[in-house]
């Protein structure tokens, strides 16, 4: 769902006239259809005090607030631009924004100026919503050339003309790095195979990467590799043969060397297509030749299901309006 679609259910507040973050949030929530003044005040208060929702500085002058409420039926957004910025009591800064370097909930105290507030509301579980939205928004607002037009907007029309922002689809723009499961364990080529299997069993690992001295990715040992090796040994022993003891084999001898990998900056859509086409449970994720984690089917499925949920909600809303 694009930002422009979310804003249709919310509002554009330019200028946003509020002296502090809590009142800026209250004004934003009030702009959403179906949200009463009381609900707006409670949501803003809870956010600022850190008792619900989440507030995040995605840029020195851009604050994103996420809130969950059954007062809305679909995902909606409100964006406001304050010409002079807004502040929050210093005592609340750590709990609200995690001690952001600005030292305030708004513009830096020694450099007041325009500040933008983007409020996103969802009727669904906030944790999943946050995972779908924040990574892309953080990346977007890291680029100054994208922030400047928003901060310089002097009317809702100005904001609506910013195509890069209005066409942004946070969910569909996720990258592999947003869903990667970091590596917790690595083994080396000379690691005894028995130790590798023991590690996989004890830690319930589906795969273990094999790395070199500089942590470069060499291959992977999966549960499939482990099963093949154990079954081969069992067959040899039952046939009266003398299979090599597991401890005499090394990770190098049994690892899979040719492995389809993806990079952190590949789109999640592209990675999902690879998983489907190759029929694999997980893909190693590489950064500068070093493996940093796995992308699993479970994570991709969660993302795809979230996208389907958005579409189902939209379809339901459209049907209701047509009636």
Q: Residue 34 to residues 7, 31, 65, 206, 311: CA-CA distances in angstroms?
A: 15, 9, 19, 47, 21
Q: Model confidence over 141-182: pLDDT tens digits?
A: 999 999 999 999 999 999 999 999 999 998 889 999 998 888
Which sign, positive or negative, has the C-alpha torsion 102, 162, 4, 17?
Answer: positive
Beginning with the edge strand found earlier in the chain, give each strand of the sheet holding 115-122 in spatial order: 11-13, 76-82, 115-122, 62-68, 54-59
**pLDDT above 50 (res 97):** no
**Structure tokens, 269:** 């859509």
Residue with structure tokens 């081969």? 232
265: nearest Cα among 179, 170, 181: 179
Pairwise pLDDT comparison (7 vs 9), residue with the higher score: 7
φ, ψ of residue 29 to 5 degrees: the values are -65, -35
SS3 14: coil
Contact 117, 24 (CB under 8 A): yes
**Structure tokens, 202:** 């004890």
**Structure tokens, 60:** 């020195």
Q: Give the confidence band of 215 by pLDDT, cuts at 50, 70, 90.
A: confident
For residue 308, the model assigns a pLDDT of 54
Q: Residue 257 to residues 56, 239, 251: CA-CA distances in angstroms?
A: 42, 30, 11
Contact 214, 243 (CB under 8 A): no
CATH dotted code for 178-303: 3.10.580.10
Measured CA to CA, the distance from residue 9 to residue 313 in angstroms comes to 13
Cα-atom radius of gyration of the chain, to the nearest Å? 25
Measured CA to CA, the distance from residue 72 to residue 120 in angstroms comes to 11
**pLDDT above 60 (res 314):** no
Measured CA to CA, the distance from residue 124 to residue 297 in angstroms comes to 23
**Structure tokens, 231:** 């079954």
Pairwise pLDDT comparison (237 vs 255), residue with the higher score: 255
DSSP sequence for 73-87 = SS-EEEEEEESS--B
263: nearest Cα among 281, 241, 287, 240: 287
Domain 3-173 has CATH 3.40.930.10: yes
Query: pTM here?
Result: 0.72
In the chain, CATH 3.10.580.10 sits at 178-303
In the chain, CATH 3.40.930.10 sits at 3-173
For residue 88, the model assigns a pLDDT of 54
Mean pLDDT of the chain: 82
Beta-carbon contacts of 171 under 8 Å, excluding residues fewer than 6 positions away, are 1, 132, 133, 136, 303, 306, 307, 310
Contact 49, 23 (CB under 8 A): no
**pLDDT above 80 (res 257):** yes
Beta-carbon contacts of 175 under 8 Å, excluding residues fewer than 6 positions away, are 135, 139, 264, 265, 266, 267, 268
Residue with structure tokens 């959403």? 32
Contact 154, 82 (CB under 8 A): no
For residue 137, the model assigns a pLDDT of 94
Percent share of the chain, pLDDT over 90: 45
Residue with structure tokens 């946003």? 16
């Amino acid at each position: 769902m694009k930002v422009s679609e979310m804003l249709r259910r919310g509002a554009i507040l330019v200028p946003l006239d509020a002296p502090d973050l809590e009142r800026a949030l209250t004004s934003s929530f009030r702009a959403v259809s179906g949200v009463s003044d009381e609900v707006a005040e409670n949501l803003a208060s809870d956010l600022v005090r850190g008792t619900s929702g989440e507030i995040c500085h995605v840029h020195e002058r851009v604050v994103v607030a996420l809130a969950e409420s059954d007062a809305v039926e679909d995902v909606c957004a409100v964006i406001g631009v304050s010409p002079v910025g807004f502040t929050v009591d210093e005592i609340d800064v750590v709990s609200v924004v995690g001690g952001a370097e600005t030292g305030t909930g708004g513009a830096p105290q020694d450099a007041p100026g325009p500040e933008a507030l983007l409020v996103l509301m969802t009727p669904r579980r906030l944790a999943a919503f946050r995972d779908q939205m924040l990574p892309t928004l953080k990346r977007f607002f890291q680029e100054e050339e994208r922030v400047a037009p928003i901060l310089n907007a002097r009317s809702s029309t100005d904001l609506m003309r910013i195509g890069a922002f209005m066409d942004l689809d946070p969910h569909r723009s996720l990258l592999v790095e947003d869903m990667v499961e970091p590596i917790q364990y690595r083994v080396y080529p000379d690691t005894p195979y028995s130790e590798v299997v023991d590690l996989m069993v004890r830690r319930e690992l589906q795969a273990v990467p094999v790395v070199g001295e500089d942590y470069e990715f060499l291959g992977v040992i999966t549960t499939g590799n482990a099963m093949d090796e154990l079954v081969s040994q069992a067959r040899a022993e039952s046939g009266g043969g003398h299979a090599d003891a597991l401890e005499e084999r090394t990770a190098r001898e049994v690892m899979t060397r040719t492995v389809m990998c993806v990079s952190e900056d590949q789109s999640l859509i592209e990675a999902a297509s690879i998983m489907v086409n190759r029929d694999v449970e997980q893909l190693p994720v590489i950064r500068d030749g070093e493996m940093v984690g796995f992308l699993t089917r479970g994570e991709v499925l969660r993302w795809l299901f979230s996208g389907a949920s958005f579409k189902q909600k939209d379809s339901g809303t459209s049907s209701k309006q047509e009636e």
